[in-house]
Amino acid sequence: MASKYDALARIIIQNIGGKSNVIGLTHCITRLRFKLKDESKANTEVLKNTEGIVTVIQSGGQYQIVIGNHVPDVFAVVNEIGRFGAAGEAAAEEPKEKMSPGAALIDVISGVFAPTLGVLAATGMIKGLLALFAYFNIISSDGGTYQLLYAVADGFFHYLPILLGLTAAKKFNVNQFTGMALGAALLYVDDVLALASLEPISTIFAGTSFATNVYTTFLGMPVLLPSSGYASSVIPIILAVYVASKVEAFWKKRIPDVVKVFLVPMLTLAICTPLTFLVVGPIASFLTSLIGLVMSAIFGLSPLIAGIVLGSFWQVLVIFGLHWSMIPIAMANYSNFGYDFVLSPMFAASFAQTAVVLAVLLKTKDQKTKSLCIPAFISGVFGVTEPAIYGITLPRKKPFLISCIAAAVGGGIIGAAGVNSYMIGGMGVFGFPSYINNATKDISGMIWVLIGVAAAVVIAFVTTMATYNDAAPKNADRENGKRPSAAGYGTILSPLKGEVKELSELDDQAFSSGVLGNGVAILPAEGKLMSPVDGEIMSLFSTGHAIGLKADFGAEILIHIGMDTVKLEGRYFTKRAEQGDKVTKGQLLLEFDLDAIQEAGYSVLSPVVVTNQEDYADIVYEAGKNVEYGEELITLL
């Protein structure tokens, strides 16, 4: 069954350099994340101007196409058409060019964590709501209702190493069950020690954040286990699976195919399991503790300044997709301390961005801007700010700067108050319960977050209301207070008599997607085409099926009679003007046999588009009505 995203998906695949240019494909909440062999083969400007795409970002070794909230649906169609595989990964070889260490790190983090974030946030929301209900005595924390829901809320997080073993295996191209088996081994040892209540033989670095217990030995070598265990940890399993990818690749080249299916995972696990506990796990735990100490030291020096910096730059990190780098730090803090303080100051940023969009919505008189603001505001309320950033605030610069300043104030308040979050919860309004300490039923953290968010919202909204003006056209006459010159605006009259429809109704991807220009389609009632403007014929195909005009006021207009009618090779078309002719409004340019074209099996639905749409702030039209020759069809602002 055809999807409404088929045309968009095909345009995306075509303009990223085709299927053969794709190494891997994943998606997060709002964007498709391609890993391309050669990014220079991608037609970035075409994609940016395609309806249905918010913008394109090239960062962290990824070619990111920002779609919006419906990205999972678009991903599914792109993946189906491209046949990249169940995980959205193309069966292509890695490029020889190596990414920088920073880009590679972001690529790994996003690839491993992106598939889990939706459910991780969902379970966090359940956990937060349970804390809220327990605090207000709506349900008892000792009752079955609480315990049953808490099982999934905390269970997903507790067994995260197994789930990350799966996603890391996909990322590193390892047998997925091998990755899960390594995660299960980490948790199994934790559970066995907990059930047996074993005391450690010795403790290395006792009394420090790097404390590591020794419970047993393997071939005489001490098996080191972090004092917090491996449950809910993230870095150890990711590194373990990476090591397993090298070991598995080694055995795949040397084990005969007839026994490869069981010998390769057996040998891989037999080597990597002790290696994980003896080397990889302790090193990963050490790095995790070190990162935690560094962040604690930064906040210890000045939680206010740390909050201001993190709050102000969060949206900048989002633009480049670098916010992924903060996820492992937060997860490590949850595992080591039971709480996180790094992400807390950033919570106000999405609300600041959303408040700016609300102010723009109320202040603007431009209908297109309003139409963009409404869905961006709704998304922002629930913590998804990419539509707001790319569609509203960043192109106008000042609103984006205001949102960053407001977020800095909110982040400073939250940081100075020493607020901790106790779970990865929902985004936006669903995130507040994450700041309730379920163990002590302390809601002071949530109250401080509410104060920080309120401050950010007020500053962002009031400042934007006071300073925002719709951007004037880029025209010297307008800036001097005069009537705009001919290149600044204009009206396109209807060149055809018939019914006005949306471009999306055309059975042609290039026109229906708006790649060739914005405008309308007309179902003609008569076989005549009149000039819609005073101007010049810039192109007139020898077949007569299409004509390009440039209006005296600057608009470049393409009119195409029917779809695929070039195949008629000029039959049923009679030109009444020539390329290079100066024309006036209402002048007959072309005649065509409407009935004959339809009898030949061709659609006569005809697009009328403005090909230099980027020169105008808005292109206004009304679909669903009937027009006569010379009636106003499109207004350019």
CB 305 within 8 A of CB 376: no
Q: What is d(CA 357, CA 344) in angstroms, rounded to the nearest whole number?
A: 22
Give how far the C-alpha of residue 37 lies from the chain's centroid of Cα atoms, to the nearest Å. 21
Residue with tokens 């507040």: 432
> Which residue in 27, 28, 404, 545 is the catalytic one?
28
Q: Which residues contact 16 (CB under 8 A, 6 or more apart)?
A: 22, 34, 36, 41, 42, 47, 63, 65
Structure token pair of residue 138? 């709506």
Query: What is the signed CA dihedral for 277, 283, 284, 286, rounded to 10 degrees?
Result: 120
Q: What is d(CA 306, CA 298) in angstroms, rounded to the nearest whole number?
A: 7
Mapped onto helix, strand or coil, the DSSP state of residue 589 is strand
Q: Is 27 a catalytic residue?
A: no
CB 172 within 8 A of CB 241: yes
Q: Is 545 a catalytic residue?
A: no
- Identity of the amino acid at 123: T
* Cα Rg, the chain, nearest whole Å: 30
Q: What is d(CA 150, CA 148) in angstroms, rounded to the nearest whole number?
A: 5
- Give the residue among 414, 450, 405 at the shortest CA–CA distance from 431: 450
Query: What is the signed CA dihedral for 322, 325, 330, 332, rounded to 10 degrees?
Result: 170
Q: What is d(CA 563, CA 540) in angstroms, rounded to the nearest whole number?
A: 16
Residue with tokens 């993946």: 79
Give how far the C-alpha of residue 319 lies from the chain's centroid of Cα atoms, to the nearest Å. 9
- Identity of the amino acid at 620: V
- Give the residue among 151, 147, 177 at the shortest CA–CA distance from 163: 177
Q: What is d(CA 185, CA 198) in angstroms, rounded to the nearest whole number?
A: 18
Q: Please give the C-alpha separations between residue 379 and each of 43, 69, 165, 455, in angstroms, as whole numbers.
A: 28, 8, 31, 20
Phi-psi region at 224: left, alpha or beta (left = phi > 0; alpha = psi -120 to 50): beta
Residue with tokens 């608009």: 555
Residue with tokens 């359940």: 126
Phi-psi region at 17: left, alpha or beta (left = phi > 0; alpha = psi -120 to 50): left
- Identity of the amino acid at 289: S
Beta bridge partners of 66: 31, 55
CB 361 within 8 A of CB 374: yes
Residue with tokens 């946030």: 121
> Which residue in 27, 323, 545, 560 is the catalytic one?
560
- Identity of the amino acid at 546: A
What b/e readout covers 397-422, taking b as 16+ CB neighbours within 10 angstroms? eebbebbbbbbbbbbbbbbbbebbbb
Residue with tokens 């990865």: 424
Distance between first and last Cα of the chain: 39
Q: What is d(CA 101, CA 94) in angstroms, rounded to the nearest whole number?
A: 16
- Give the residue among 381, 443, 427, 350 at the shortest CA–CA distance from 122: 427
Active site residues: 28, 560
